[in-house]
Structure 1
Amino acid sequence: MALSISLFFLLLLFPLKCVSSLSLMTKGSSLSVEKHAEDVIVSRNQMFCAGFVEVGENAYSFAIWFNESHTHNTTTVVWMANREQPVNGKLSKLSLLNSGNLVLLDASQITTWSSNTASHTQVKLHLQNDGNLVLSDSKGTTLWQSFDFPTDTLLPGQPLTRYTQLVSSRSESNRSSGFYKLLFDDDNVLRLIYDGLDVSSTYWPPNTGTIWQAGRVNYNSSRIAVLNSLGSFTSSDNYLFFTNDYGSVVPRRLKLDCDGNVRVYSRSEALKQWYVSRQVINDACSIHGICGVNSACDYDPERGRSCSCLPGYKVKNHSDWSYGCEPVFDLTCDGNESMSTFLEMQGIEFFGYDHNYAQNSTYMNCVNLCLRDCDCKGFQYRFDLDQGFDCYTKLDLRNGRRSPSFTGTIYLRLPNGNNFSKEESVTVAADDHVCSVVLHRDYVTKPANRFLRFCLWLATAVGALELVCFLMIWGFLIRSRQKSGADQQGYHLAAVGFRKYSYWELKEATKGFTEEIGRVDGTDAHDGRLVTWVREKKRRNSWLEEILDPAIGTNYDMNQMEILTKVALDCVEEDQDVRPTMKQVVEFLQSHESDAL
């Protein structure tokens, strides 16, 4: 009952920004990246949304976020499917296949992410009120859920187990995997690990004592940690904390930030923003790798964290301090100890990467110990009440931090003859060096697509060629029609004695071949058809002379003309049954061949 009341008040307070009618996905349905503002799955309580989020230039990831906005600058993302491989902003889609597998396809139809599930029954994808994206079958069995694959955030009720881990983002603007991890180690202890470009180390709990001194236990092998809705975080290794606003009903999230610190964020509805209600590590400079190699970290509560290169070193990458600093000198190692000198710097500690350790050692003994080692970058020299002065030669100058409470001294090994001073260093606020690499996603075509593109171009070219040919033929016909004038008709009439009619003239005379022609001018035949006129002439004795063209003259055979005229008249009988076949015509002509001769 209390949980229902809490959710009711959260619904009243939480701003609604996702506008969508999608409550779930079924087999055969898809979400399109080109309609990312519309194709969004919304939880029933309207608190969470799932869809495509822009993570760079033409780069998108399928993610879950709090229902407050939908721009990559302000969206509070709590889970991401393809953080390492964003998809193209065109043609990409999330599809629930008929096989029961949930896949994310890029523009080139390459699968960039998959739930690796299968089901022969009906399945659905829905977003629960707690922010868990669940793929379940018709029996309600969970096939896949986002809570089992966290990215950098835990929501209330979402467990961190032996099989899961949180991985920070590369930066605030680059949501790909970064260098920090929160996980249960093999000794059942919850730890923070720096997994950098070339080295790895554990920095929480601090390596200053045993796990018992850190308040942890390692005999509980269940390995589970969870943040509840009221602001309490409990872990199976006995780690426990409460948020500053513990007990209040507000949206919360636990996040491993890109700076390696774990923070719990709560949302203020009055201010419409998130605030830090708990931070695991108070000293930001105790986080490994925060300033990179050959540098020192300095933290001030008012100014924040800053990084500075050691004397004799310069910034390696001005856009990313995790690369640290590089030397501006060339330190040779040829056995000549006079080639090196040491610069004393107090109040700076470098944790780890000790090559040699000498207990109760003099300063000169420590100097000689470093000079005999070509890889020695310097040594830490500090006083211990029980053991005297201890010497630690350094292979690498990593995890450096300035602290007034640190009583030791670091001696940097530098080439002799260079005028490096303690004050000579480059100091920049680390927060100003957030990696600004913009993610992008180009459309990568496959060979099949290149072939299809070639076919399309070929079809287009052939179509264009056919169009040109059609236009040329049409133009030729028009010109031919125009040239069929009186002059050509006169030449033809003079040659054969007959009037030549063109196709266009016949079509025009018959009104599109809808009316018959063949009527002749003259007093004898102007009222009858040509066939009727010939038949009437045939009844007379001199009929053949009357129907022949006078231009022929007398140079013809009367019997042949009579036979041909008879055949012609028989072939145009109105009754089709009376008309002779072609075989009969041939036989008739052959039978009268001797008569004609």
Structure 2
Amino acid sequence: MKCKSKTLLLPLLLLSFFSTYAIASPLNITIGSSLSTTPLSDNDESYWLSPSGNYAFGFYPLPCKTNDPVAQCYVVGIWNARSATKTLVWVANRDSLPFSGSSSILFTKYGTLVRISGDKEIALLSNIQEPASYAMINDNGNLVLYNSDSRIMWESFDYPTDTILPGQTLKSGFSLIASTSRSDHSSGRYILRITNDGDILIYHDYDFVYAINRYYKVRHVDMNLDSNGNLYLVDQNGLNIGSLTKGKMQTDNQNSSNPVIFRATLDSDGIFRLYREEIGSGKEKSWRLSSNKKILFVFLRDLLFVVIFVGILSCIYHAVTLRKNQPTQGELQLGTV
């Protein structure tokens, strides 16, 4: 019941937080720019918005795992700012525990983003090759850091967590890792991986569960999501080799009078889904792009292993018993003439 109450509390928490600290952001995030969990003036912010306001980067509030139902914790991430649910689509340091209390995010003079809590500085981004001069959260939800020549130094699209957004590519050899639950965004037990052999596979604790595209038999496959909600596969030459949505979006898009946003997410139940939400109406629709075969697959596999193991043990037992009951060479059996 505690988990359920906290899940129900989350939308109210998000609505309260974002309505309180909804402040327009500059297009470029420059050296010295900062965010705070406790803005002290109208010039302070808790997040930065993309130019159109579609996406935000900053402090995302979550219920704390305490007995206090109104306690507020945070993670640093990117979310759909215009979505009714304010869905989190990317998380920095996702396997670190949500934090409470006063914290700030600073774009340092060294050209990177850090979270400051007390006297601690925690790096938010990794694999930055050289200092950035400015950053931007783009309208497609991509957080990008640029150098002084406006060359990209780092972008969140290269490091997805559980979701890909329109314009984003999940590259061969990369993975999506489902969240633990709707309110716990740490790495869960399901992984969607594009192998170097071109297979798109879903695993549960590294046990194979489901294959999405093994029938294509093409090496080096990337997965793309476009602005119309079409999720398709391309080979190493950029050629479209198959669709995972197969035109499901076309009719819905034609019938919609409101702007729509899409995302493809590996959910905490291990199912890969495509989501479509109409901005303004809050109507959301989803399609399953995979099935969860885990229970049947693992049951049959484990049953087979048990049968084989018991059979081997039985053979060994009977072989040892038979050998013990047989006389050794030259031994006289009692009762024989």
TM-score higher than 0.5 here? yes
Letter in 2 for 1:41: W
Q: 1:90 to 1:108 in 2, by over 3 A?
A: farther
Report deviation, 1:128. Answer: 0.9
Equivalent residues of 1:51, 1:63 under 8 A apart: yes
Aligned to 1:98: 109
> How big is each residue's C-alpha offset from its partner over 1:457-507, in whole Å with a ceiling of 9 and x where there is no partner?
xxxxxxxxxxxxxxxxxxxxxxxxxxxxxxxxxxxxxxxxxxxxxxxxxxx
1:61 and 2:75 are equivalent in the alignment: yes
**1:372 paired residue among 305, 314, 321:** 314
Q: Deviation per CA, 1:81-109, whole angstroms, max 9, x where unpaired?
A: 12211453333222111111222233341
Deviation at 1:125, TM superposition (A): 1.3
Q: Which has the higher contact order (CA 8 A, sep 6+)?
A: 2
Contact 1:100-1:118 at 8 Å conserved across structures: no
CA distance in 2, matches of 1:250, 1:69: 9
From 297, 300, 305, give the equivalent of 1:355.
305
Distance 1:146 1:233 in 2: 19
Shift of 1:264: 0.5
> 1:592 corresponds to which residue?
none
CA distance in 2, matches of 1:257, 1:271: 23
- Residue 289 of structure 2 aligns with which residue? 280
CA contact (8 A) 1:92 1:106 kept: yes
- Tell me the equivalent position of 2:28: 24
TM-score, length basis structure 1: 0.42
- SS of match in other structure, 2:232: strand
- In the TM superposition, 1:531-546 aligns within 5 A as none
- With over 3 angstroms needed to count, the CA separation of the structure-2 counterparts of 1:269 and 1:116, relative to structure 1, is closer
Q: CA deviation at 1:230?
A: 1.5
RMSD of the TM alignment (CA)? 3.2
Separation of aligned partners in 1, 2:289 and 2:270: 10
The SS at the match of 2:244 is strand
Q: Measure how far apart 1:41 and its partner are.
A: 1.0
- 1:245 lines up with 2:258 in the alignment: no
**Aligned ranges 1:101-140 → 2 under 5 Å:** 101-117=112-128, 119=130, 123-140=133-150
Contact 1:99–1:118, Cα closer than 8 Å, also in 2: no
Match of 1:217 in 2: 217
The one-letter amino acid of 2:314's match is R
Aligned positions of 1:142-291 closer than 5 A: 142-195=152-205, 200-205=206-211, 214-218=214-218, 220-221=219-220, 223-236=221-234, 238-242=241-245, 244-246=248-250, 248=253, 250-269=260-279, 271-276=281-286, 278-282=287-291, 284=292, 286=293, 288=294
Match of 1:378 in 2: none
Residues 1:141 and 2:151 aligned together: yes
Secondary structure in 2 matching 1:150: coil
Give 2:322's aligned residue: none
2 CA distance for matches of 1:79 and 1:349? 30
Query: Partner of 1:46 in structure 2?
Result: 53
The alignment partner of 1:355 has SS state of helix
The letter for the 2-side match of 1:48 is Y
Q: Secondary structure at the match of 1:234?
A: strand
Most deviating of 241-250 and 158-167: 241-250
Unmatched 5+ stretches in structure 1: 1-15, 290-296, 298-347, 359-365, 375-597
* Structure richer in helix, relative to its length: 1
Task: Say whether 1:81 aligns with 2:81.
Answer: no
Cα gap change, 1:153/1:373 in structure 2, threshold over 3 Å: closer, same or farther? Answer: farther
Q: What is the correspondence of 1:193-592 to structure 2 with a 5 Å cutoff?
A: 193-195=203-205, 200-205=206-211, 214-218=214-218, 220-221=219-220, 223-236=221-234, 238-242=241-245, 244-246=248-250, 248=253, 250-269=260-279, 271-276=281-286, 278-282=287-291, 284=292, 286=293, 288=294, 350-353=299-302, 354-355=304-305, 369=311, 372=314
Q: Distance in 2 between matches of 1:170 and 1:216?
A: 31
Displacement of 1:173 = 1.6
In the alignment, is the contact (CA less than 8 A) between 2:261 and 2:279 conserved in 1? no
Structure 2 CA distance for partners of 1:271 and 1:44, relative to 1, 3 Å: closer
The one-letter code sitting in structure 1 at the alignment partner of 2:53 is: Q
Whichever residue aligns with residue 301 of structure 2, its letter is G
The 1-side partners of 2:173 and 2:313 are apart by 47
Change (3 A) 1:107 1:352: farther
Which stretch of structure 1 is more off in the superposition, 110-119 or 94-103? 110-119
The CA distance in 2 between the partners of 1:246 and 1:33, in whole Å, is 41
| Count of aligned pairs | 274
AA at the equivalent of 1:156: P
The answer (yes or no) to whether the contact 1:106–1:112 under 8 Å persists in 2 is: no
Where structure 2 has 5 or more consecutive residues not aligned to the other structure, the ranges are 1-17, 65-71, 236-240, 254-258, 317-337
Shift in Å, 1:33: 2.2
**1:372 aligned partner, one-letter code:** S
Q: 1:331-389 CA deviation, whole Å, 9 max, x = no partner?
A: xxxxxxxxxxxxxxxxx98231333777xxxxxxx9x7387399xxxxxxxxxxxxxxx
The TM-score normalised by the length of structure 2 is 0.71
Kept in 2: contact 1:225–1:236 (CA 8 A): yes
- Which residue is 1:6 aligned to? none
Q: Structure 1, residues 218-269: CA drift from partner, whole Å, max 9, x if none?
A: 3x32x31101111221124744222533262621110000000010000134
Partner in structure 1 of residue 238 of structure 2: none
Q: Deviations over 1:257-300 (max 9, x none)?
A: 00000100001346413211x21135x4x1x26xxxxxxx7xxx
